[in-house]
């Protein structure tokens, strides 16, 4: 089915929140052809045009009736003609990340910011010998005092200094205002804050997450052990917006006397549903005596450009970096602490802070070894790091540990649900070392940082994002995610009721939604297909998805009947009379399939996901896949 040809009538002139004209109206929007003066009008027009122009008056009840990729793309560019202006992204993808097209792989499970490109890695591999200067770097773990490290620093290598400068420059964070430490992963960063925060005088911990996160759960557990009173925001069904009245009651202090009330942990937007949260909550928390921690791990790669750090100045900020999109999800996290807030921290000895170690140093350790069992074990472990490219052992990159290696593991059968991918599979509390190949050669076209006397750190991933800019990256993601949402909602089962195949949680078609999506697939009887099964079948189709668990959902009386039907208990949840009330409540929620669009996502990626999900319109699709799997002489695991 084709969308009607959209006649150019006018372009929407967008304000600061709508930085450029995004789409053109069709003739039936002539009444709205004049540029709107408010951002609210821009948002309404965008949603209305998207809803009415993508497969208008059409429902797809058979996966074979879907239009082709080429036909769909033609219609897509008529709805969003300015998508063509983002062609530079496709050029970067083709030249620097050609492994994605070679493997025909769609990666929709990466979160964070990529440091390097695949081309950069392989050029370095082909041109460097193992004993050349710094072709690799790894991370080493150390036990230390966060407060001391922030106040006085530590012995820092030239590599660490260069990487620190590059990252702070990329995020627009001033070294005059913030101190930074590298941490093993996102979980470690949260844990470090929890173990150093002064809960004796500022007793409360208030979090704003609509999904289960291992990093946040770890922070909560550590904080409770240190005497913190833990609270959480709730999210109203069905749109999963912040339940404002309840959160305001928790944030606002009734006392006139200013006193630090505790730690307010704010993620800016949900990395699962794509919901964006008003920044006013940060201001309100600060005005009422809270320290504010901003979780920036789910932000887009250039979103810090529009965040307004100098305006809000949070006390803590956590950001995550992975190494190579679609190839090496391991990486590290960065914990930034406002210099004026360091003095309030308590001294505590913790693990989780890491050093960046050049491979040359690892080789020197091996060469200088006296051969003791302990040294040999250490050298062996370090050596394995250099060969472990692609090991999913970090906080960032893949939101699941269901990496591309899973396709090889399928020959031995499916992973169990516990071992398989989940939202925070990589956010493991067990610290494991990881590595990356980094092209550290000088590139005159790159914004690189000095490394030693003659070499510079070149982070091609960061350079590419800088060259594209906030507007191009944001607009491209906006077009793709809204097309995907609209198209998924067009899939209906071929029965008389026209039961929808897909249920989307959180925002639907929306101008300022994030590029993440939480959804479930339902069969023709209205029964949910387990998210882990959807993920496994997607993986067979070379599409990497993840799954997560939505919680802290609040139902008004209007939806009381739905509540019992919708909520499920998370596996391993607390039970019994003695269970913590908050934890017991958070164990009730909804397991969902998740997809995240990175800056390299293309229309073909979103189309492939749509076409894959449409296959569930065939009532026998799952059974056919099971038989097909058995026919390939692969071990069958009951799913």
Q: How many CB atoms lie within 10 A of CB 195?
A: 20
pLDDT per residue over 4-18, tens digit each? 333 322 233 333 344
Dist. CA 230–CA 239, nearest whole Å: 25
Task: Give percent helix, percent strand, percent coil of the chain, each to the nearest 5.
Answer: 40, 20, 40
Q: What is the pLDDT of residue 630?
A: 67
Q: Residue by residue, what is the 3-state secondary structure of 274-294? A: CCECCCHHHHHHHHCCEEEEE
Q: What is the pLDDT of residue 531?
A: 96
With a cut of 90, say whether residue 100 has pLDDT above it.
yes
Task: Locate the DSSP E strands across 288-327.
Answer: 290-295, 316-324
With a cut of 70, say whether residue 507 has pLDDT above it.
yes
Contacts of 82 by beta carbon, 8 Å cutoff, 6+ apart: 20, 21, 22, 23, 475, 479
| CB-based burial, 26-44: b 16+ in 10 Å, e otherwise | beebeebeeebeeeebbbe
Mean pLDDT of 527-548: 95
User: Which is nearest to 542 in space by CA: 596, 597, 612, 638?
Assistant: 612
Q: What is the pLDDT of residue 627?
A: 81
Q: What is the pLDDT of residue 624?
A: 86
| Of the listed ranges 74-88, 446-460, 552-566, the one predicted with least confidence | 446-460
Q: What is the pLDDT of residue 122?
A: 78
Q: What is the pLDDT of residue 257?
A: 64
**Residue 454 pLDDT level (bands cut at 50, 70, 90):** very low
Question: Mapping DSSP to helix (H, G, I), strand (E, B) and coil, where does residue 133 land?
Answer: coil
Q: How many CB atoms lie within 10 A of CB 111?
A: 27
Q: What is the pLDDT of residue 39?
A: 77
**Residue 52 pLDDT level (bands cut at 50, 70, 90):** very high
pLDDT per residue over 607-633, tens digit each? 999 999 999 999 999 888 878 766 665
| Of the listed ranges 39-48, 128-137, 188-197, the one predicted with least confidence | 128-137
pLDDT per residue over 262-321, tens digit each? 999 999 999 999 999 999 999 999 999 999 999 999 899 999 998 988 889 999 999 999
Inter-CA distances, 404 with 107, 604, 616, Å: 9, 19, 23
Greatest CA separation for the chain = 82
With a cut of 50, say whether residue 251 has pLDDT above it.
yes
pLDDT per residue over 575-618, tens digit each? 444 445 556 666 899 999 999 999 999 999 999 999 999 999 99
Dist. CA 163–CA 459, nearest whole Å: 9
Arithmetic mean of pLDDT over the chain: 79
Q: What is the pLDDT of residue 479?
A: 98
Q: What is the pLDDT of residue 53?
A: 95
Give bridge partners of residue 251 from the DSSP assignment. none
Dist. CA 490–CA 614, nearest whole Å: 10
Q: What is the pLDDT of residue 331?
A: 87
**Residue 558 pLDDT level (bands cut at 50, 70, 90):** very high
Dist. CA 137–CA 143, nearest whole Å: 20
Q: Classify residue 203 as exposed, middle or buried by CB count within 10 Å of its CB (0-12, 13-18, 19+).
A: middle
Dist. CA 567–CA 275, nearest whole Å: 20
pLDDT per residue over 109-140, tens digit each? 998 899 999 988 777 666 544 433 333 578 89
**Residue 254 pLDDT level (bands cut at 50, 70, 90):** confident
Regarding predicted confidence, which is higher, 229 or 457?
229
| Inter-residue contact 532 to 100 (CB < 8 Å) | no
With a cut of 90, say whether residue 3 has pLDDT above it.
no
Q: What is the pLDDT of residue 17?
A: 40
**Residue 527 pLDDT level (bands cut at 50, 70, 90):** very high
Q: What is the pLDDT of residue 436?
A: 33
Question: Mapping DSSP to helix (H, G, I), strand (E, B) and coil, where does residue 504 land?
Answer: strand
Tokens of 49: 């045009």
């Amino acid at each position: 089915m084709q969308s009607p040809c959209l006649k150019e009538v006018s372009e929407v002139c967008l304000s600061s929140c709508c930085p450029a004209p995004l789409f053109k109206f069709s003739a039936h929007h002539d009444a709205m052809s004049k540029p709107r003066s408010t951002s609210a009008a821009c948002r309404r027009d965008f949603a209305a045009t998207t809803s009415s122009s993508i497969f208008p008056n059409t429902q797809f009840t058979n996966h074979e009736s879907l239009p082709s990729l080429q036909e769909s793309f033609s219609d897509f560019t008529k709805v969003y003609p300015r998508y063509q202006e983002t062609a530079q992204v496709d050029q970067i993808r083709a030249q620097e990340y050609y492994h994605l097209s070679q493997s025909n792989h769609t990666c929709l499970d990466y979160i964070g910011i990529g440091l390097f490109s695949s081309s950069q890695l392989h050029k370095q591999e082909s041109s460097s010998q193992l004993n050349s200067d710094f072709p690799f770097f790894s991370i080493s773990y150390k036990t230390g005092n966060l407060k001391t490290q922030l106040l006085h620093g530590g012995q820092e290598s030239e590599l660490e200094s260069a990487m620190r400068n590059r990252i702070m420059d990329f995020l627009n964070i001033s070294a005059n205002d913030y101190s930074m430490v590298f941490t093993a992963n996102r979980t470690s960063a949260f844990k470090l804050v929890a173990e150093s925060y002064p809960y004796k005088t500022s007793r409360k911990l208030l979090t704003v997450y609509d999904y289960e996160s291992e990093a946040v759960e770890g922070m909560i557990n550590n904080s409770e052990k240190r005497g913190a009173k833990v609270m959480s925001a709730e999210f109203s069904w069905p749109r999963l917006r912040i339940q404002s009245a309840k959160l305001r009651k928790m944030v606002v202090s009734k006392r006139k006397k200013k006193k630090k009330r505790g730690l307010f942990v704010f993620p800016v937007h949900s990395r699962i549903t794509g919901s964006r949260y008003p920044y006013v909550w940060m201001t309100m928390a600060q005005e009422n005596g809270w320290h504010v921690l901003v979780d920036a791990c789910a932000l887009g790669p250039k979103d810090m450009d529009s965040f307004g750090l100098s305006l809000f100045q949070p006390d803590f900020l956590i950001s995550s970096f992975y190494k190579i999109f679609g190839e090496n999800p391991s990486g590290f996290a960065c914990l930034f602490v406002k210099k004026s807030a360091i003095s309030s921290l308590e001294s505590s000895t913790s693990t989780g802070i890491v050093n960046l170690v050049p491979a040359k140093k690892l080789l020197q350790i091996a060469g200088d070894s006296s051969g003791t069992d302990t040294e040999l074990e250490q050298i062996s472990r370090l050596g394995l790091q250099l060969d472990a490219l692609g090991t999913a052992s970090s906080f960032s990159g893949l939101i699941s540990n269901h990496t591309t290696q899973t396709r090889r593991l399928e020959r031995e059968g499916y992973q169990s649900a516990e071992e398989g991918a989940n939202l925070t599979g990589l956010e493991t509390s067990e610290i494991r070392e990881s590595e990356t190949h980094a092209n550290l050669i000088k590139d005159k076209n790159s914004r690189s940082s000095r490394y030693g006397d003659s070499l510079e750190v070149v982070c091609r991933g960061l350079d590419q994002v800088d060259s594209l800019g906030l507007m191009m990256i944001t607009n491209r993601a906006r077009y793709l995610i809204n097309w995907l949402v609209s198209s998924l909602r067009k899939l209906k089962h071929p029965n008389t009721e026209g039961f929808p195949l897909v249920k989307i949680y959180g925002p639907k078609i929306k101008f300022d939604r994030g590029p993440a999506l939480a959804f479930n697939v339902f069969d023709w009887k209205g029964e949910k297909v387990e998210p882990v099964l959807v993920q496994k079948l997607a993986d067979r189709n070379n599409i990497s998805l993840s799954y997560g668990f939505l919680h802290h959902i609040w139902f008004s009386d209007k939806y009381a009947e739905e509540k019992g039907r919708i909520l499920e208990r998370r596996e391993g949840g607390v039970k019994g009379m003695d269970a913590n009330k908050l934890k017991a409540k958070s164990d009730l929620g909804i397991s969902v399939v998740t997809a995240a669009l990175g800056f390299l996502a293309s229309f073909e990626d979103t189309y492939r996901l749509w076409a894959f999900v449409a296959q569930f319109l065939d009532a026998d699709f799952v059974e056919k896949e099971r038989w097909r799997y058995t026919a390939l002489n692969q071990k069958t695991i009951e799913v």
